[in-house]
Copies of this chain bind each other. A is one copy, B any other.
Amino acid sequence: MTDLADRPLAADSVGLLEGLTTTRSIRRYADEPIPDGALRDILFAATRAPSGSNRQNFRFIVLTDGPVATEAKAIIGRTARQAWDHKRANEGYDEGSGATPDSPKARMARSMERYVEEIEKVPALVLPCLIRHRRPTSTEGASVYPACQNLLLAARALGYGGVLTIWHALVEDELRQLLELPDEAAIAATVTLGKPEGNHGPVRRVPLDQLVYSGTWGDAPEWAVDPPGTRFTRAGPPPAPAS
């Protein structure tokens, strides 16, 4: 691996603003590993993100193959399938427009179904962690989620893709034991990465003037105008049917 010390980061083929505005969550991966050089570049970019007082209190556990990775993926697989079954039932994914195969709701359900069914096969499972220096707070994520976003954007830059989840939430104790986490480290996210299978599709959001205000709450500035070609969606998850 000494050659990586001499190897610069990959050359860019995607622009910065382009990458920021077109990177979306990828849940379907080709069955091929991510080469070490790409993992190096992705994790290097992740760890260039800012953190409070530049404490760099983020750590990334990158699980690809071998017995520990296999066991961690199995733990995440079990809990992900349970959590998705629960969400599917509670958030009405099979009701209303969900009964129509081509509706956004039904497509989302199919995508999630396949994702959780095959999650043990993801090329890389990454567990970003935060080393706490004080009691948990709702703003502590400011020191780890910017790095998670860099991770996902860097994956995109190198031809990969991923999605940030909190699948670990119900099995954190089991993972902590397997991975020998020290008491002060908390798992902040569960990220899966791989080569996208199929197309990316557009990023969809609500109109910009619903998300950006100037002055008091709700007052959109005149410049909050979506650029031409913007694709929209309602804020998720899909609403339960009225009936």
Contacts and interface: CB of A to CB of B under 8 A. Distances in A.
Nearest to A2: B225
Interface stretch (A95-103, A114-122, A192-200, A216-224): A216-224
A109 to B, nearest CB: 12
A182 interface: yes
Given A139-B189, A148-B146, A17 B4 contact: no
A201 to B, nearest CB: 13
Contact of A15 (B14, B164, B185): B14
A170 B36 CA distance: 44
Number of copies of chain A assembled together: 2
Contacts of A137: 138
Interface string A152-169: 111011100001101001
Contact of A61 (B20, B41, B213): B213
Nearest to A124: B214
Contact of A36 (B15, B54, B222): B222
A6 interface: yes
Nearest to A5: B225
Interface of A: 1-2, 4-25, 36-37, 39-41, 43-45, 47-50, 52-64, 66, 68-69, 136-142, 144-146, 148-150, 152-154, 156-158, 163-164, 166, 169, 178-182, 185-186, 188-189, 203-206, 208, 211-218, 221-230, 233, 235-237
21 contacts: A1-B223, A4-B223, A7-B228, A16-B153, A20-B153, A22-B48, A40-B224, A43-B211, A53-B236, A54-B235, A56-B211, A56-B235, A59-B212, A60-B211, A61-B214, A62-B213, A69-B215, A140-B141, A146-B146, A153-B153, A180-B218
